[in-house]
Structure 1
């Protein structure tokens, strides 16, 4: 019980003695603005670099998958050598653009 009274008395003393603090000042909006810009910058960096890398990987994987399927068709005898070369050139030309 005495601890509760002592804590209440200390809190009352601290609440009454607030003359040394004059508030946050006129610059207080800068800190939330800086945090907001920091967080937006982090998301933008992940989006830009992650999306760009994902597109490169997906484009390369798609081209490789097409070449593999074309090689399978050639190996199975579904298409001849001229058709294989023509389609392979088309796949590589489309993959590089």
Structure 2
């Protein structure tokens, strides 16, 4: 048995490509690139699915495009808190509504 193992080892190291399975080392980085790519793909897919079916507050879309975070609602909150007065609120609201992309 030991002689068979020794003969197999010598035959493996006598290949024209160098020692044994030296060519297989190129497969290791390829494997890890595939694993990392799969992880990134799954994260992106789950985020899109999460956004498509609503977030924790039930709104749809990515966090920066949800209906609750519009510029008009932010301006209304600032007016309600007293950060800005009525004339400034109306002036800013008029600017916002004049610059709408669908207007």
Please say whether Structure 1 and Structure 2 have the same fold, judged by a TM-score greater than 0.5: no
What is the TM-score with the length of structure 1 in the denominator?
0.43
Greater relative CO (CA pairs within 8 A, separation 6+): 1
Give the helix-richer structure, 1 or 2: 1
